[in-house]
Amino acid sequence: MALFDKFNQSIDPSVSRIAVHQFAGGINLLADGDITRGQFDAALGLEASDDAQMDDLVALYNAKATAVLKLAFLVKIHSTIMLQEQGMITDVQSKNFLGVTA
């Protein structure tokens, strides 16, 4: 199961679900350089199956030309996965809105 699948409320109970606010808080600290990717992954219990989608998010963030665009992208990540968690959009829509291809 990949990263975006783990934001869904209707996930298989045997899979560790990722809380949206914890993810958003962590990705902000990661983006600011306050924590490493390893610390982020460990804190959220991310696995190798999550790497491709997480790598996409990091690359998309890093590709933003200005601090304002980077901040806007972090807000978009939080907003998008929050809607996904609530079942208002699917994981496929969530990835499409953010530009994640993995």
Output the pTM of the full model: 0.90
Per-residue pLDDT of the chain (102 residues; tens, 9 = 90+): 799 999 987 767 777 889 999 999 999 999 999 999 999 999 999 999 999 999 999 999 999 999 999 999 999 999 999 999 999 999 999 999 999 998
Domain ranges of the chain: 3-98
Strands (E), 14-97: none
Written as one string, the DSSP assignment of 75-98 is HHHHHHHHHHHTTSS-HHHHHHHH
